Chain A
Amino acid sequence: MTAMTPTTGPAALPASLFVDSAVRAEIEQFLYFEVELLDDRRFSEWLSLCADDIRYWMPMRRNRLTRDRDKENSGPDELSHLNETRQSLGWRVAQLESNMHWSEAPPSRTRHLVTNVRVAATETPDEYAVRSNFLCYRNRLEEDVDIWAGERGDVLRRVGVRQWQVVRRTILLDQSVVLSPNLSVLF
C-alpha cells in the first residue's frame, strides 16, 4: 500500500479510507439506523447503541485570532457543550422519555441528515474511525425552528452480527454562539 502512495500531482485519497466495501456499506446503514431511532424518538433503543465506555463529547467552538487557530475548539480541560458518559447519556434519555422535559414535551419534530461518510480502519480489527457530516432540523410547537450543522468523528465497534456500538463520538457543532434556546436533541 505505501509503495503506491503518489508523491506528486493532485492530493491523494488517504490510504486508510480503502476499507472493505461491505463493511463501509454496513457502517453507513448503521449511521442511518441510529438517527432513525432518534428521529422516531426511540431513545432507549438508541442508548443501547452506546458502548459502556463511550465518551460523547461536543467541544465549544470560538473565534480566535489567526495565530491561535489551533485553539478554536475547547480542549479536554476546558468547558464543552457535552461531555457525556454512558450514565449521563442514560439520564438524558430518561429525561427525554419523562414527558416532563418541557423542551421536548410536547415532542419536537427532528430530521437528522447524515452525509459525507468516511470510514477508516483502525489498529483494532473490529473498530473503525468514521467521520460524517450532519444537518439536524428541529421544528417544535408552532413556528420554532433550529438548524444545527456539524461533523461527527466516531469510533464504532462491531459487537455482534449486525450489531455495532459507538465507542467515541466527538461532535463539532458549527456555531460559536449556540443559536437555539437549548441543545435538547442528541446528535
Chain B
Amino acid sequence: MISNETLRSYVQWEDGLISPHIFSSEDVWQLEQERVFGRSWLFLAHDSQIPRPGDFFSTYMGADPVMIVRQSDGSVAAFLNACRHRGMKVCRGDEGNSKAFTCTYHGWSYDTAGRLIGMPAADDTYGPDFDRSRWGLVPVNRLEHYQGFWFGSFDESIVDLETSLGPFKIHMDTFLDSMPGGVEFVGGTQRAKMSGNWKIAAEQFAGDSYHAFQSHVSDFTVSTPPELLDTRSFQGEHGFNGFHHFGTVQGHGAGFNDARSDQRYYAIGAGTDVVDRWQDRVEREVRERLGDEAADTYRGTILHGTLFPNLSFLGTPTALRVWHPRGPNEMEMYSWVYVDKDAPPEVKERMKWVAQQHFGPQGLAEQDDGENFAAIAGNLKRRGAQTHKIMLNYRMGLGDTNDTHEPATGGRHAGMNEMPQRLFYRRWLRMMTEDGTGEAA
C-alpha cells in the first residue's frame, strides 16, 4: 500500500510540481479505484439516452461495469453489471431495451429493478428456503440528476450532487441549460480505447487551453475560413489575455476565450452560419436567464471543462466525454455530442457534423490528442528511473495575484493559467490521502 507521505511527495500542487508516478504506478491506480472512483459522483447517462421503461445503457464507474435502467415508473436505477453467482456481465448489450437481464452462464435472471427473479430449477438446486431478495444485483448506492444528467456514486455518505458541483454549477448551466428545453444527446456513443492515463485527459479539459495552439495547429490551419484565421494566435504573439480559467476546490475546472476581447482566436467550426445565427439567439436567452457572465462564457471560444473526476465537455463544438480508467497506462473514452433540444433540425445536424469533424478519434483536433496521450504513456510505461525523477511543471501562473487557490469558491484567472490543473490534483490528493471524500473544508 502506498503511503500518504509518498502520495504527498508525488503531488506538490502548491508548488505546481507533479511526479510522473501518479500516471504510471499500478499501486496508485488501484488505490484510485477505491478512493477516487469509489467516492465521487460519476456520470452515467443522460435522460435522452434512456427515455422509455426498460431502456438501459451500459457503462463503467471507474473500472467497474454498471448499467443504468429506466424503471416502469419513470425513475432510474443503476447496478453493477455482474451476476451474483459467478460475476459475469448479465447484460452484454451496450444499449437497448429489455424486461429482464439473464446471465448466459447459468441462467440467473434479474428484472429491471435488479431483483433476482429467476434461477433454473431453483427448488431442486438451492432449496425452497433460498432467499432471493439477498441476491439481487449490487445497486449503485446513490443516484442524482442535474439538467437531465444522471450521476451515481457507490459512497452512501457522499454530499449531494449540487453541493459537489460547487461554483462550477454556473458553467454547467451555461451549456446544459442555455435554452429552456435543455439539451439532448445525439444518438450513439463513440468509444475508443487508447494509451494514456485518464488524468492526463481529464486535467487537459479542466485547464489546458494552452496546448491547442501547438497540438491542433493543423486543424486550425486547414479547416478555418482564411478570413477568420488569425495565425498570430498560434504563437501567442498578441498574448493570451482574452482567456479565462476557472478552478474550484472540488477539482472542477474550465477555460475559455472571451469572444468580446479584442484578441480574436480561432473558433472551431467558425463560419458555420446556421449555427452562428442560432447561437446569437441562445446568447440573448442566456443573458436574460443566467446573466452577463454566463452569456459571455457561452459565446467564448475554445471552451472546455472537466467535472471532477472524469466528465469533460466542450462548448464549441458541443461534445462530452468520460475518461474511463483501464489501467495506469490505458483509458477508454466514451464520447457524445449534445444539441439544444429546441434547436431546428438543420441546426442540430450542423452542430453534430461540426463536433464530429473535430472531436472523437477521427476528429481533426482530437486525433492529435490521442497521439500525445499515447506518447506520454509510451515514455512512462518503460518505467525509466531517471524519467520518473522529473517533477513535471504545473507552475504556469503560480503566485499570480489573480490566482486564488484557497477561498472556498476556488478562483477565476484572466490569461493562460494552470490553476485549474493544480486544483484538480489538490482534490485528487485529498481523496487519495484522507478517509473522507476530500470535500472542501
Contact = CB atoms under 8 A, between A and B. Distances in A.
Interface of A: 58, 60, 62-65, 68, 71, 74-75, 77-83, 88, 91-92, 94-95, 98, 100-103, 141, 144, 176-184
B364 A91 contact: yes
Interface centre among A65, A74, A83 (most CB of B within 10 A): A65
B193 A79 contact: no
Contact of B361 (A74, A81, A88, A94): A81
Contacts of B82: none
B32 interface: no
Given A64-B96, A79-B336, A178 B374 contact: no
A74 B188 contact: yes
B214 to A, nearest CB: 9
A82 B362 contact: yes
Interface stretch (B35-43, B109-117, B140-148, B217-225): B217-225
Contacts of A176: 94, 191
Nearest to A67: B96
A95 B364 contact: yes
B156 to A, nearest CB: 31
Interface string B73-109: 0000000000000000000111111100000000000
Interface in B12-40: none
Contacts of A74: 187-188
B192 A103 contact: no
A182 B93 contact: no
Given A79-B336, A144-B374, A176-B94, A100 B361 contact: no
Contacts of A180: 192, 194, 361, 370
Interface residue SS majority, chain A = loop
Contacts of B336: 79
A80 B356 contact: yes
B366 interface: yes
Interface in B330-344: 332, 336-337
27 contacts: A60-B189, A62-B94, A62-B95, A62-B189, A63-B94, A64-B93, A65-B92, A74-B187, A79-B187, A79-B189, A79-B337, A81-B361, A81-B362, A91-B222, A91-B357, A95-B219, A95-B364, A100-B218, A100-B221, A102-B372, A177-B191, A178-B192, A181-B370, A182-B361, A182-B366, A182-B371, A184-B362
B46 interface: no
Contacts of B337: 79
Given A63-B94, A91-B223, A95-B222, A100 B217 contact: yes
Contacts of A94: 221-222
Given A58-B362, A80-B356, 18 more contacts: A60-B188, A62-B94, A64-B93, A65-B92, A65-B96, A65-B98, A68-B93, A77-B186, A79-B352, A94-B221, A103-B367, A103-B370, A177-B193, A179-B192, A181-B373, A182-B192, A182-B362, A184-B367
